[in-house]
Structures are given as C-alpha cells and as structure tokens.
Amino acid sequence: MAGGVIATDSGSNQDFPGKLTGQVLICTTIAAFGGLMFGYDVGISGGVTGMDEFLMKFFPNVYIRKHHAHENNYCKFADEYLQLFTSSLYLAAIIASCAASIMCKKFGRKPTMQAASVFFLVGAILNVTASKLSMLILGRLFLGAGVGCGNQAVPLFITEIAPPKYRGGLNVCFQLLITIGILIANLVNYLTSNIKHYGWRISLGGAAMPAIFLLIGSFIIVETPASLVERGKKERGLKTLKRIRGVDDVQKEFEEIVRATEISNQIKNPFRELLKRPSIPPVICGTIIHIFQQFTGINVVMFYAPVLFQTMGFGSNASLLSAVITGTVNSLSTLIAIFSVDKAGRKKLLIFGASVCLIAQCAIGGLLKAYLTETSKVPGGTAKLVVGLICLYVNGFAWSWGPLGWLISSEVYPLETRSGGFFLAVGTNMFCTFLIAQSFLSMLCTMQAYIYFFFAAWLVTMIIFVAAMLPETKGISIDEMVERVWKKHWFWKRFYNSTDIERPKASIQLEQQDKPNQ
C-alpha cells in the first residue's frame, strides 16, 4: 500500500549495529504528539457535550431536555446532531487516512505529519471560534483530516525510525500517549467546565497545543531513511541512517531497507492480493479484531462517560471528575500491556481482558436496570459503584483489546499483504468508531440499561472467537506466520494447499504498518 512501513522486524533475528540515540528519542517524542492529538480528540467531546453553555448555543433542544424534570433519563442526550458532532471526525479520518497513505509514499512522512498538524490547527481554530453548528462540524471534519493523516504517518514514522529491537516498545508508548491525550482532555474539561460562557471554547481550542508542537517539531525531525530511499534519495537516506543510529556501520541495515523498498515497489496492487484465498484467514482475523475492539463498547466510555454519569444523576462537575478517574485508569493500565504482552501471550490477555469487561458490563447493566428508571436518579452509593465498575471495565480493556487489537492486525499478515491488510484494519476501526459514536446516544434512549447487555453479548462472542479461531502469535517471527501459524491452525489450514509454494523467508518486513495503539 502506498505509504506502508518499510522496516525490519522487531521480532526477527536482525541485530543491526546502532543504539537508541538521542535523535531517535527526540524524533519519536515529537512525532508522538500526533498520538496526543488523537487522544485529546477522543477525550474532549464527551465533556464538552455535557456542558450547559455549549448545549445552549448549539443544541438548545438537548439543553431543554436535559433540564426537563420529567424527561426520560436515558433520552436526555439523544440527538443526531450531537452524535454527529462526535462522529463526523471519524468519517473524515477514514477518507484522510487513505489520502495520507498516498501522500506518505509520494512526499514522505514528514510533510504528511505537517499536513496533519495544519489540518488539526485549522480544525481547532474553527471550533474555538464557532458561532454556528455548521462551523463546529466543519471544524470536526478538519480535526478528522488531521487525525487521519497523523494516524497514518506517525506510527509509520516511529516504526521506521526506531532501531528494530526497540520498535515494539516505542509503538506501545505511542498508544500510551493516546491514553495520556484522553486523560489531558478529561482534565481540561474538568477545569474549564466552571468557566462561564467560553469554557467549552478553551476545551476545544486546547487541541491546538499538540498540533502546534507537532508542527514546530516537524521542522526539527529528520525524514526516515526508508522514505528517502523509497523516493529515490538513496544517498541522503544512508546519511540519515548513520545520523540516527549514531554509528557509521549501517550498511547491513541500509541494504535491508533498499531490498524491502524494491520488493515493496514490485507489488503494484496490494489490495488485489488480499482477495486471494491464502489471504482470507489473516484478513478475517485482522479485521474482525477491530470490529470486536470497538464493540467492546470502549468508546462509549471514552466519548460519552460524562454524559453517562449525568444520565445517572451526577452533576456536571462530578461527571467530569469521574471521567478524569476513568482516564487515569486507562493510562495506568496501558502500562501493564507494555510489560505483559510478550510474556502472557495474545490469546490469554484477550480472553482474560474480555472476561473482565464482560463482568463489569453485566454488573453495570444490572445495577442500572434495577436503579435507574426513566425519571429517577441512581442512589449515591450505587452511582459510585457504577463508576468503580466502569474503571474495572476500562482497566480490562487497556491491557488487552486496546493495544492488542492494533498489534495483532499488524503481525498476522505475510509480507505481500501486510500494508493493504493493515490499511483495512485502520479503516474498519475508524468506521466502527464512527458507528458507535453516531448511534450510542440513540441506542441508550431506546435500549436503556439493556445497552450494556448488548455489549456484553459482543464480549461473549469475542471470547468464543478468540478461544476457537484466533491463532496465538506470541513469539512467532512475522516471516514465519504463514508456515507456523496459519498452515497449522485446525480451521484456517484449509485455505492453504499442500502444493502452496513455501513462502520466502524474508528477514525484513515489507511495509509493516503499526498503529498508535501498539
């Protein structure tokens, strides 16, 4: 795919000379502001949509419903336009990430990141100065374009710039920055909610900060050697590689980059490859994992936690504070993934994580069914228990389906379909995020407390799927995925003939594309 990562495999036996230089750390930190940008967006909308001044200005009907004594608790916030405010961003992100993948290939990772920050900045300015709903939505579309470009270019950049043996860790740290972005947004909402008239403007305008850092920083960072080679600038690529590795002896790694680029350039249409029979197992598993990730219901919490808390009868402040608590749990629990992902194995974490989420969802659904009627508030103690259960749920997600969704979809594909397959994964994730964002408040209104059982049913399906169908990929070199994983799996092996040509054992990955959350 255009703009795929051309990089060696962190899991392979490659041991190129070179260290984790200050330059790599600085470049990674700057680029990671793209993750912060994305996380800030995820976390900011829920708090803002719960702010009275914001509702009065753009969604007066919701404001009236929210304060109407006899209004159905579950339907206070059900409004298509309010949902569109949150979801429009993801629609734009799908389109932008497609364009960004082409841009990455043609112009490089650096200009794509610069475009991301400019889009994001324009979006933040439009939101901060919004006087009409259309301006607000237009701002969200620009933010979405920024997220799409950023999510495509930044992980690509980090993966290509990192020395192979540090790549996995640096990728999970990127996911960590997303969760930190969400947490910062929750905190900003909490602090601005008491600022009369323009509190929401500060919240939405805050998005400009990471964008400005990324924009300024993008002039300091280097272009990746792979991108330079890909665009015919071999000499500059070699010079850059020496600089970022801090050694002169980079010939071996450079040759691998050149070789990977050549293979990459031979595959003119990776999407056509995805339609072939042997691609079906990784396509199904790599895509379904993202559908499942979103249908854990995580973004219901990330986007609408303050709204949910208000539905239970919390005041605005208590709701925003509760969102800060869940955001903190999210960030801290992601740390667990960094240390356990390569030890415990993917399947165990996914099954265990989904079970924790399942217990929490069922308990929340049960409590709300029992205590939250259409017109009454949840008693104080029960409401606190629900907040605790939401924290448990977020914890279960943060060390399993959060980072692993992205990790698995980037490692199950063989060389020739990895980039196309990963693009499919990103697109599916963004689309499902859009679906959830666009429909949750209406679903809450019609399904009421049963909505939690809806997500619980998904979680049961996921556990069964992972247990029965998903192969374990821990510790398997990416190059051996077909031979050692797919061809050995009790079900998926039927997609491969015994006459299949043994796959070339490339020691390099062509176009591995890892996402923020790895």
Nearest to 286 by CA among 480, 441, 431, 421: 421
DSSP sequence for 369-421: HHH--SSSPPPHHHHHHHHHHHHHHHHHHHTTHHHHHHHHHHHSS-GGGHHHH
Q: Which stretch binds ligand BGC (CB under 6 A): 20-28, 292-300, 380-388, 469-477?
A: 292-300
Binding residues for ligand BGC, rule CB under 6 A, total: 14
Give the side-chain half-sphere CA count within 13 A for 132.
Answer: 3
Residue 7's SS3 state is strand
The contact mask relative to ligand BGC for 396-435 (x = CB under 6 A, - = no) is: ------x--x-----------------------x---x--
CA distance 125 to 291: 33
Residue with Cβ nearer ligand BGC (224 or 433): 433
CA distance 407 to 411: 6
The distance of closest approach from Cβ of residue 302 to ligand BGC in the complex, given in angstroms and rounded to an integer, is: 4
Interaction between residue 179 and ligand BGC (CB under 6 A): yes
Site for ligand BGC in 311-340 (CB under 6 A): 330
Beta bridge partners of 509: 7
Selected binder of ligand BGC within 6, 302, 386, 424 (CB under 6 A): 302
Residue with Cβ nearer ligand BGC (298 or 408): 298
Token code pair at residue 352: 């265990």
Q: Is the dihedral of CA 341, 346, 351, 357 positive or negative?
A: positive
The distance of closest approach from Cβ of residue 385 to ligand BGC in the complex, given in angstroms and rounded to an integer, is: 23
Q: Which stretch binds ligand BGC (CB under 6 A): 202-210, 218-226, 291-299, 444-452?
A: 291-299
Interaction between residue 512 and ligand BGC (CB under 6 A): no
Inter-residue long-range contacts of 440-443, CB under 8 Å, 24+ positions, other chains counted: 440/83, 440/300, 440/303, 440/304, 441/77, 441/78, 441/79, 441/82, 441/83, 441/304, 441/307, 442/78, 442/80, 442/83
Residue with Cβ nearer ligand BGC (89 or 182): 182
Site for ligand BGC in 114-153 (CB under 6 A): none
Q: Which stretch binds ligand BGC (CB under 6 A): 10-18, 61-69, 174-182, 407-415?
A: 174-182
Sequence-ordered list of residues with C-beta below 8 angstroms from that of 435, at least 6 positions apart, any chain: 87, 294
Residue with Cβ nearer ligand BGC (11 or 403): 403
Site for ligand BGC in 214-273 (CB under 6 A): none
The distance of closest approach from Cβ of residue 213 to ligand BGC in the complex, given in angstroms and rounded to an integer, is: 21
Nearest to 40 by CA among 127, 130, 138: 127
Interaction between residue 298 and ligand BGC (CB under 6 A): yes
Give the side-chain half-sphere CA count within 13 A for 158.
Answer: 32
Sequence-ordered list of residues with C-beta below 8 angstroms from that of 307, at least 6 positions apart, any chain: 46, 49, 50, 77, 319, 441
Query: Amino acid identity, residue 209?
Result: M
Site for ligand BGC in 37-96 (CB under 6 A): 42
DSSP sequence for 296-358: TTHHHHHHHHHHHHHHTT--HHHHHHHHHHHHHHHHHHHHHHHHHHHHH-HHHHHHHHHHHHH
The distance of closest approach from Cβ of residue 114 to ligand BGC in the complex, given in angstroms and rounded to an integer, is: 24
Residue with Cβ nearer ligand BGC (185 or 274): 185
The distance of closest approach from Cβ of residue 291 to ligand BGC in the complex, given in angstroms and rounded to an integer, is: 12
Residue with Cβ nearer ligand BGC (440 or 495): 440
Length of the chain in terms of residues written = 518
Beta bridge partners of 508: 8
Residue with Cβ nearer ligand BGC (241 or 323): 323
Interaction between residue 299 and ligand BGC (CB under 6 A): yes
The distance of closest approach from Cβ of residue 483 to ligand BGC in the complex, given in angstroms and rounded to an integer, is: 30
Q: Which stretch binds ligand BGC (CB under 6 A): 84-92, 125-133, 149-157, 297-305?
A: 297-305
CA distance 336 to 393: 15
CA distances, 87 to each of 42, 47, 94, 143, 183 (Å): 10, 15, 11, 11, 20
Residue with Cβ nearer ligand BGC (18 or 402): 402
The distance of closest approach from Cβ of residue 179 to ligand BGC in the complex, given in angstroms and rounded to an integer, is: 5
Interaction between residue 438 and ligand BGC (CB under 6 A): no
Euclidean distance between the first and the last CA atom of the chain, given in angstroms as a whole number: 20
The distance of closest approach from Cβ of residue 206 to ligand BGC in the complex, given in angstroms and rounded to an integer, is: 18
Sequence-ordered list of residues with C-beta below 8 angstroms from that of 337, at least 6 positions apart, any chain: 172, 175, 349, 398, 399, 400, 402, 403, 404
CB atoms within 10 A of CB 509: 33
Q: Which stretch binds ligand BGC (CB under 6 A): 128-136, 190-198, 295-303, 500-508?
A: 295-303
Residue with Cβ nearer ligand BGC (17 or 427): 427
Q: Which stretch binds ligand BGC (CB under 6 A): 64-72, 178-186, 318-326, 466-474?
A: 178-186
The distance of closest approach from Cβ of residue 275 to ligand BGC in the complex, given in angstroms and rounded to an integer, is: 26
The distance of closest approach from Cβ of residue 178 to ligand BGC in the complex, given in angstroms and rounded to an integer, is: 6
Interaction between residue 395 and ligand BGC (CB under 6 A): no
The distance of closest approach from Cβ of residue 37 to ligand BGC in the complex, given in angstroms and rounded to an integer, is: 13
Residue with Cβ nearer ligand BGC (8 or 429): 429
Burial class (CB in 10 A: 0-12, 13-18, 19+), 205: middle
Residue with Cβ nearer ligand BGC (188 or 302): 302
Contact residues for ligand BGC, defined by CB under 6 A: 42, 178-179, 182, 293, 298-299, 302, 330, 402, 405, 429, 433, 517
